[in-house]
Chain A
């Protein structure tokens, strides 16, 4: 049931993306962007219901897998963009963000969703739920920042290269894109810090050693933290946009790379069925 709803949400995201892209291609049709925004909001609600249903079906545990994390992240990207839209009127950003939502969501639509097994008692802790949600939100914000930074670089190339073509007129001013990137990075950093702290509490309790995912998360955290600092030192523009993109690439890359080697990270979210006498399974977590 939740999967069907998720597919409906994905179809709606597709329609919203089409609206935003049509607006981007033909700015004359401002109505397309407004339509896209409404459909996006609707898709967000459907997606929310799907998540709620899945929680009921699987006891909320499927969010601790990579797949579940993606479902959550796509929802959060959409939600974060809806929020951004309220404060920054840049409908052309939608043409870049909505395809990202789809990109994250579509792989989760195939295969079977559902409970990855019975999670151990140690995982039934509010800190873990909090960790998963905040980490997904942080990455979602970094994801939007990635899209906006990409727009910045494209526009910078137009403006600097004196190509006053199609992109030049369609993309927003550099200043707006730069400000938006910076705000997203800063907000993402705050949320990610909280996620890391919550994760640390759990990890300390359950594992005794450091997990590779923890290490890479700290690296990502340091990178974005450095960016927040550099901003105060006057960093912005192209270098900042590039760093933003590198940061997100690192987040995504580490998530996949670490899981590509079986048993390398404990953040897999797959559990052995709980059998008495067996050492407590390791907690998993979304990115």
Chain B
């Protein structure tokens, strides 16, 4: 007799394993499909589902043990063993919900992970590795993620310097249509921010640098135009957002220079973002009207403030996850009780019918049609009355998370000895294998 199936999770993530291990076991597309089919075909595996992103590879199996899922990793990379974590039952459910809600992400609250989990489920479903249990599990995970997103502010606030730059520029200019971004210096951070700012639809990216070669190279990289260093003041008039990251040890944009440029700009707003250390923009510039100047410190402060805010929201998110895990478990219990109930009722009705027939075959000749009907009805009524209380109790116990009673009922009524497929008799297990016994369809 096969062992009861439960949900197992074996996985590794950015928290437990270095990138070189993660990339060895990460799969996508067809390779992942093949791996899913292989997993599903293994001994003792009911359903399977694999989340594989650059930050995590996690194998969820509904199986009799964690072995098959572990094998997924060990067969691909021997050194993965020491980085694996294993979770079972509601622990595994909770983990999936937290992952989908982006509570386990490197940047808590980032948006991508939900899409990746959805994709993973789609793939597992297409490979027929995920069945009705995984479907219910994943849908619940998506519902949880959506609740977290709409009921908390966990996804709010920029969490990287370039994102802060985008937020700032957006609050000053709205969008950058018909405006230009100016990159002063060929620093890496500057290029990153310029790329991020492209989402605001800047018309042009201008690049200037003391050495024309490097400047030209950077311009090619960010898709901008190089302008000679001598034109700096003109460029400050032309552009509205200036990102400064040179290696110069002094102020490149002095107050006098900005003052002149502002006059020529007729005081149109100018945003200066200084990403250089030591600073390249004179802090006195920030005091000029219509000049909005920020340095690395300001940006980092914003980033850490947002991280702080997200941590606060994460506490609220965890509560939502907890509620959903409990709701899912309860749903599972109710489903677990259903096969027992159905079986019990079926058996009882069969006995009632058999007994009624036996009675009728011996005395039926002396009864008219009405009398025979009464005998049959009486047999059914006894069954109903007898089973009424147990039915109610079983449902109630299941709804309150008591998984012992259905098992006890099965044992008490001798349902275990029935000639039925073993999958329907998981103690506290999942009724998924018997769709006929599950009145509620998955959403």
Contacts and interface: CB of A to CB of B under 8 A. Distances in A.
A159 B173 contact: no
B156 A169 contact: yes
A164 B305 contact: yes
Interface string B285-310: 01001101010001001100110000
Contacts, number: 54
Interface in A222-248: 233-239
Interface string B141-166: 00000000010010011000000100
A176 interface: yes
Given A28-B150, A160-B292, A164-B302, A173 B170 contact: yes
Contacts of A122: none
A91 B268 CA distance: 26
A174 B175 CA distance: 11
A237 B170 contact: no
Interface of A: 28, 155, 158-160, 162, 164, 168-169, 171-176, 233-239
Contacts of B164: 164
B292 A236 contact: no
A235 B269 CA distance: 11
Contacts of A160: 286, 292
B124 to A, nearest CB: 32
Contacts of B305: 164
A159 B153 contact: no
Given A162-B301, A237-B289, A173 B171 contact: yes
A243 to B, nearest CB: 14
A85 B298 CA distance: 34
B76 interface: no
Given A174-B173, A175-B172, 10 more contacts: A28-B150, A162-B301, A164-B302, A164-B305, A168-B171, A169-B157, A172-B174, A175-B173, A236-B290, A238-B290
Given A160-B292, A164-B302, A169-B156, A174 B167 contact: no
A249 B173 CA distance: 28
A238 B287 CA distance: 13
Contacts of B269: 174-175, 237
28 contacts: A28-B153, A155-B171, A159-B171, A159-B292, A160-B286, A162-B298, A162-B302, A164-B167, A164-B305, A168-B171, A169-B156, A169-B157, A171-B171, A172-B174, A173-B171, A173-B173, A174-B172, A174-B173, A174-B269, A175-B174, A175-B269, A233-B266, A234-B266, A234-B268, A236-B268, A237-B267, A237-B269, A237-B290
Contact of A174 (B150, B153, B171, B298): B171
Q: Which of B266, B269, B301 has the most CB of A within 10 A?
A: B269
A169 B172 CA distance: 12
Contacts of A172: 174
A236 B267 contact: yes
Interface residues of B, number: 26
Contacts of B289: 237-239
Nearest to B265: A234
B437 interface: no
B168 interface: yes
A159 B302 CA distance: 12
Contacts of A237: 267, 269, 289-290
Q: Which of A28, A162, A237, A238 has the most CB of B within 10 A?
A: A162
Contacts of A176: 174
Contacts of A159: 168, 171-172, 292
Contacts of A155: 171
A173 B301 contact: no
Nearest to A168: B171
B263 to A, nearest CB: 10
B177 to A, nearest CB: 11
A42 B69 CA distance: 61
Given A159-B292, A238-B289, A173 B172 contact: yes
Contacts of B292: 159-160
A233 B266 CA distance: 8
B296 to A, nearest CB: 12
Contacts of B301: 162
B286 to A, nearest CB: 7
A187 B434 CA distance: 71
Contacts of B156: 169
A172 B170 CA distance: 9
Nearest to A174: B172
Nearest to A164: B302
Contacts of B286: 160
A94 B397 CA distance: 53
Q: Which of B170, B171, B267 has the most CB of A within 10 A?
A: B171
